[in-house]
Protein backbone atom coordinates (compact mmCIF):
# COMPACT_ATOMS: atom_id res chain seq x y z
CA UNK A 1 0.00 0.00 0.00
CA UNK A 2 1.48 3.30 -1.07
CA UNK A 3 1.64 6.11 1.46
CA UNK A 4 -0.03 9.35 0.37
CA UNK A 5 2.36 12.31 0.65
CA UNK A 6 -0.25 14.32 2.59
CA UNK A 7 -1.05 11.56 5.06
CA UNK A 8 0.70 11.13 8.40
CA UNK A 9 3.49 8.60 8.69
CA UNK A 10 3.01 5.18 10.29
CA UNK A 11 4.34 6.37 13.66
CA UNK A 12 1.92 9.30 13.81
CA UNK A 13 -0.95 7.09 12.71
CA UNK A 14 -0.10 4.49 15.35
CA UNK A 15 0.14 7.18 18.03
CA UNK A 16 -3.24 8.61 17.08
CA UNK A 17 -4.82 5.14 17.06
CA UNK A 18 -3.42 4.37 20.50
CA UNK A 19 -4.99 7.57 21.84
CA UNK A 20 -8.36 6.88 20.20
CA UNK A 21 -11.15 6.28 22.74
CA UNK A 22 -12.67 3.65 20.44
CA UNK A 23 -9.38 1.79 20.23
CA UNK A 24 -9.00 1.87 24.00
CA UNK A 25 -12.59 0.59 24.35
CA UNK A 26 -11.79 -2.25 21.96
CA UNK A 27 -8.61 -3.19 23.82
CA UNK A 28 -10.37 -3.16 27.21
CA UNK A 29 -13.35 -5.17 25.95
CA UNK A 30 -11.16 -7.82 24.34
CA UNK A 31 -8.93 -8.11 27.38
CA UNK A 32 -11.89 -8.31 29.77
CA UNK A 33 -13.58 -11.04 27.73
CA UNK A 34 -10.32 -12.97 27.34
CA UNK A 35 -9.64 -12.86 31.10
CA UNK A 36 -13.19 -13.89 32.00
CA UNK A 37 -13.18 -16.82 29.57
CA UNK A 38 -9.71 -17.83 30.72
CA UNK A 39 -10.81 -17.78 34.37
CA UNK A 40 -13.89 -19.86 33.57
CA UNK A 41 -11.82 -22.43 31.69
CA UNK A 42 -9.22 -22.62 34.46
CA UNK A 43 -11.94 -23.15 37.07
CA UNK A 44 -13.48 -25.92 34.99
CA UNK A 45 -10.15 -27.58 34.24
CA UNK A 46 -8.68 -27.39 37.73
CA UNK A 47 -12.04 -28.36 39.20
CA UNK A 48 -11.87 -31.55 37.17
CA UNK A 49 -8.26 -32.17 38.19
CA UNK A 50 -9.22 -31.68 41.85
CA UNK A 51 -12.05 -34.17 41.41
CA UNK A 52 -9.60 -36.67 39.94
CA UNK A 53 -7.18 -36.10 42.80
CA UNK A 54 -9.59 -36.01 45.73
CA UNK A 55 -12.92 -37.52 44.65
CA UNK A 56 -12.03 -40.64 42.72
CA UNK A 57 -14.90 -42.48 44.32
CA UNK A 58 -17.36 -39.92 43.00
CA UNK A 59 -15.92 -40.06 39.48
CA UNK A 60 -15.87 -43.86 39.64
CA UNK A 61 -19.59 -44.18 40.26
CA UNK A 62 -21.61 -45.59 37.39
CA UNK A 63 -23.78 -43.11 35.48
CA UNK A 64 -26.81 -45.31 36.16
CA UNK A 65 -27.32 -48.69 37.74
CA UNK A 66 -26.22 -51.46 35.41
CA UNK A 67 -24.01 -49.15 33.36
CA UNK A 68 -20.27 -49.64 33.02
CA UNK A 69 -19.64 -45.99 32.13
CA UNK A 70 -18.65 -43.94 35.16
CA UNK A 71 -19.38 -40.28 35.95
CA UNK A 72 -15.78 -39.40 35.09
CA UNK A 73 -16.39 -39.95 31.37
CA UNK A 74 -19.24 -37.44 30.85
CA UNK A 75 -17.63 -34.95 33.23
CA UNK A 76 -14.32 -35.21 31.33
CA UNK A 77 -16.21 -34.82 28.07
CA UNK A 78 -17.87 -31.77 29.58
CA UNK A 79 -14.45 -30.23 30.22
CA UNK A 80 -13.56 -30.68 26.54
CA UNK A 81 -16.92 -29.38 25.32
CA UNK A 82 -16.70 -26.37 27.64
CA UNK A 83 -13.43 -25.38 25.94
CA UNK A 84 -15.14 -25.54 22.56
CA UNK A 85 -18.14 -23.54 23.83
CA UNK A 86 -15.94 -20.86 25.40
CA UNK A 87 -13.99 -20.58 22.14
CA UNK A 88 -17.26 -20.22 20.23
CA UNK A 89 -18.34 -17.45 22.61
CA UNK A 90 -15.11 -15.56 21.94
CA UNK A 91 -15.36 -16.06 18.17
CA UNK A 92 -18.97 -14.86 18.11
CA UNK A 93 -18.07 -11.73 20.08
CA UNK A 94 -15.01 -11.13 17.90
CA UNK A 95 -17.04 -11.51 14.69
CA UNK A 96 -19.73 -9.12 15.86
CA UNK A 97 -18.75 -6.44 18.36
CA UNK A 98 -14.95 -6.50 17.99
CA UNK A 99 -15.03 -6.52 14.18
CA UNK A 100 -17.53 -3.65 14.18
CA UNK A 101 -15.32 -1.60 16.53
CA UNK A 102 -12.25 -2.41 14.42
CA UNK A 103 -14.05 -1.31 11.26
CA UNK A 104 -15.13 1.96 12.92
CA UNK A 105 -11.58 2.61 14.13
CA UNK A 106 -10.17 1.97 10.65
CA UNK A 107 -12.75 4.29 9.04
CA UNK A 108 -12.02 6.96 11.63
CA UNK A 109 -8.30 6.69 10.84
CA UNK A 110 -8.93 6.74 7.09
CA UNK A 111 -7.57 3.24 6.50
Per-residue pLDDT tens for 21-33?
Answer: 888 889 999 999 9
How far is Cα 32 from Cα 44, in angstroms, rounded to an integer? 18
Domain assignments of the chain as residue spans, ordered by start: 23-109
Per-residue pLDDT tens for 38-92?
Answer: 999 999 999 999 999 999 999 999 999 888 999 999 999 999 999 999 999 999 9
* Residue-level pLDDT at 55: 92
What are the residues whose beta carbons fall under 8 Å from the beta carbon of 26, sequence distance 6 or more? 98, 101, 102, 105
* Residue-level pLDDT at 46: 97
Predicted confidence (pLDDT) at residue 1 exceeds the cutoff of 70: no
Amino acid sequence: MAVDEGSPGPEALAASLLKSPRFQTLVRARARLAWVLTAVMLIIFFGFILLVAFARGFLGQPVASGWTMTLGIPIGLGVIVSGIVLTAIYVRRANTRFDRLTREIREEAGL
